[in-house]
């Protein structure tokens, strides 16, 4: 009896609730169904968008792996801007430009300077972005330090600061040893490589050079090193020592003469002998085998005369007698 009574009470309560909810459903039922439908549509859109995003990321990584030139890396960085793939593509493009720009500085200074300027902007873009991951940021710092060192006019302060910043921010970086070699003295040295006066003088001299593509094909082209005049000429105000073609070299000692050998020609004698043809060498007549050479002071022995057979001249025939 108690269970039946309890079931009747629950049934009555459910009926009362449905009766009370009926006006609410009639008033807000359409809105509730619309909200449920919107949630379903949003869920479907999220699933499709996530699928497309995964597909786009897969395509981006595939294109990055297939990139083989600086232009390919730049295209990937532009097509997938704002993604992690774009940052990796940009660092690859910047490092490729850096190598090319350094090589061009030796053969085409204007082209090399333009390329290194673009590289500096790419590295700076990665350093300024908050989305750049640490493994890319340390490579950008090292690349920027190399750009500052390469384009320096002898003042290496900025390059030194960037190398030091890399060491401080990334103590476990793969570039730490290379950076320390530039800003810390090696064993047995008191001054770091970038603090040496010779390093500063070299970069100052290199900054003043302006090689062009045609210079390499011109005979005798040679970029003068610090302390030398162009084309190996003697500096102004000083006379070349050791000869016209060897400025600054000491006079070489003369070679000793050996018995039986002719004396070496001097430069003046050699020039004078260039225009005169050499005299023909005398050839000795071959000696007859088996006959000793005649001694000096004695007349040569007379050769034995061979008698020639005498031939009689033909006698003239007698003239015929004339008859009376």
pLDDT tens-digit map of 223-266: 555 555 544 444 444 444 444 444 444 454 554 544 555 555 55
CA–CA dist 46, 60 (Å, integer): 21
Written as six digits, the tokens of 303 are: 């050769």
SS (H, E, C) 285-316: CCCCCCCCCCCCCCCCCCCCCCCCCCCCCCCC
The rounded distance, in Å, linking the Cα atoms of 142 and 62 is 27
pLDDT at position 263: 54
Q: Does residue 147 contact residue 99 with C-beta atoms inside 8 Å?
A: no
Measure CA 172 to chain center.
Answer: 28
The answer to whether the pTM exceeds 0.75 is no
Which among 104, 99, 100, 101 has a CA at the least distance from the CA of 116?
A: 101
pLDDT < 70 positions in the chain: 1-21, 24-25, 29, 48-55, 216-324
Chain centroid to Cα 227, Å, comes to 26
109 and 210 Cβ atoms separated by less than 8 Å: yes
CA pair distance 177, 167, nearest whole angstrom: 9
Query: Alpha-carbon distance 212 to 232, whole Å?
Result: 19
In terms of Cα–Cα distance, which of 93, 104, 85 is closest to 150? Answer: 104
């Amino acid at each position: 009896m108690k269970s039946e009574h309890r079931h009747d009470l629950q049934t009555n309560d459910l009926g009362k609730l449905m009766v009370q909810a009926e006006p609410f459903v009639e008033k807000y039922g359409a809105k509730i169904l619309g909200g449920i439908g919107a949630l379903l549509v949003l869920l479907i859109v999220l699933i499709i968008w996530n699928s497309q995003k995964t597909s786009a990321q897969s395509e981006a990584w595939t294109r990055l792996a297939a990139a083989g030139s600086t232009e390919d890396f730049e295209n990937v960085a532009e097509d997938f801007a704002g993604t992690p793939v774009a940052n990796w593509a940009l660092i690859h493009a910047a490092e490729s430009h850096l190598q090319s720009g350094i090589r061009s500085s030796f053969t085409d200074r204007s082209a090399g300077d333009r390329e290194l300027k673009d590289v500096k902007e790419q590295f700076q873009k990665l350093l300024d972005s908050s989305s750049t991951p640490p493994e890319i940021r340390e490579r950008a710092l090292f690349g920027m330090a190399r750009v500052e060192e390469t384009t320096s006019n002898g003042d290496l302060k900025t390059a030194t600061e960037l190398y030091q910043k890399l060491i401080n921010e990334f103590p476990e970086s793969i570039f730490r040893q290379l950076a320390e070699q530039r800003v810390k003295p090696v064993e047995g040295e008191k001054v770091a490589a970038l603090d040496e006066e010779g390093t500063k003088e070299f970069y100052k001299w290199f900054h003043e050079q302006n090689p062009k593509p045609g210079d390499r094909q011109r005979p005798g082209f040679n970029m003068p090193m610090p302390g030398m005049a162009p084309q190996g000429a003697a500096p102004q105000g000083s006379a070349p020592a050791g000869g016209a073609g060897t400025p600054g070299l000491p006079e070489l000692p003369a070679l000793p003469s050996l018995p039986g050998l002719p004396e070496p020609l001097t430069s003046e004698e050699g020039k004078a002998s260039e225009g005169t043809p050499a005299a023909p060498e005398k050839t000795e007549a071959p000696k007859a085998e088996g006959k000793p050479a005649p001694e000096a002071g004695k007349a040569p022995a007379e050769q034995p005369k061979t008698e020639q057979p005498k031939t009689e001249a033909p006698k003239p025939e007698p003239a015929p007698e004339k008859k009376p």
